[in-house]
């Protein structure tokens, strides 16, 4: 069955569970075949929440940046519980994204992403700028004045 809101036909990797590396605190999505995908957050979201700026969805980024941004894929919110101790997932709806319109998992308010080429290792400094591996102890992200729940209708590429 196809999704009429999905122009690309792209389908997210279905994670069966999450895994936390006890040594680093990094969070991974785990597939049915036990492949572990490091999960990432979009770090400029901190400033966007404070300044109440909307961040465009990936396909709407400037042409010079869109290929980079689209290497980070929104993690589907359809990850079955139970989760590792200390993890509660939320949902980011993506109505403006016609390429990746599925509901996205969030952790502590942060939308979660994985790299399409999941062989990338989740190590600080071993990935491009703007995204960093998500850790179990990442701070909760929220707006500064409580007026909005997150910046604009979209909260990440």
Q: Domain boundaries in the chain? A: 17-133
Could you read off the pLDDT of 55-73 as tens digits, one per residue? 767 777 778 878 888 888 9
Could you read off the pLDDT of 121-157 as tens digits, one per residue? 545 444 567 888 999 999 888 754 444 444 344 555 5
Asked whether the CA dihedral 76, 3, 10, 15 is positive or negative, the reply is positive
Provide, rounded to the nearest whole percent, the portion of the chain with pLDDT above 90. 39
Mean pLDDT, all residues of the chain: 79
Specify the DSSP class assigned to residue 128: -
Question: What is the model's pTM?
Answer: 0.79
Range 100-103 contact pairs with CB under 8 angstroms and sequence separation of 24 or more: 100/6, 100/8, 100/10, 100/12, 100/57, 100/58, 100/59, 100/73, 100/74, 101/3, 101/5, 101/6, 102/3, 102/6, 102/12, 102/74, 102/76, 102/77, 102/78, 103/76, 103/77, 103/78
Distance CA 75, CA 12 (A): 7
Q: Bigger pLDDT: 31 or 94?
A: 31
Distance of CA 39 to the CA centre of its chain: 7
Q: From residue 126, give the alpha-carbon distance in Å to each of 7, 34, 117, 118.
A: 32, 23, 14, 13
**What per-residue confidence (pLDDT) applies to 113?**
93
Residues 130, 34 contacting (CB under 8 angstroms): no
**What per-residue confidence (pLDDT) applies to 57?**
72
Distance CA 14, CA 17 (A): 9
In the block, tokens 């079955």 appear at 80
């Amino acid at each position: 069955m196809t999704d009429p809101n999905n122009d690309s036909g792209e389908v997210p990797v279905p994670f069966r569970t999450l895994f936390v590396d006890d040594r680093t605190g990094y969070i991974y999505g785990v597939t049915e075949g036990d492949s572990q995908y490091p999960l990432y957050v979009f770090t400029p979201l901190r400033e966007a929440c404070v300044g109440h700026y909307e961040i465009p969805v990936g396909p709407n980024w400037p042409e010079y940046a869109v290929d980079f941004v689209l290497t980070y894929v929104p993690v589907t919110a359809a990850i079955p519980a139970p989760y590792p101790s200390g993890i509660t997932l939320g949902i980011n709806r993506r109505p403006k994204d016609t390429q990746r319109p599925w509901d996205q998992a969030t952790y502590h308010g942060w939308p979660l992403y994985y790299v399409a080429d999941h062989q990338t290792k989740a190590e600080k400094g071993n990935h491009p700028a703007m995204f960093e591996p998500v850790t179990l102890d990442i701070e909760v992200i929220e707006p500064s004045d409580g007026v909005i729940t997150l910046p604009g209708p979209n909260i990440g590429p």
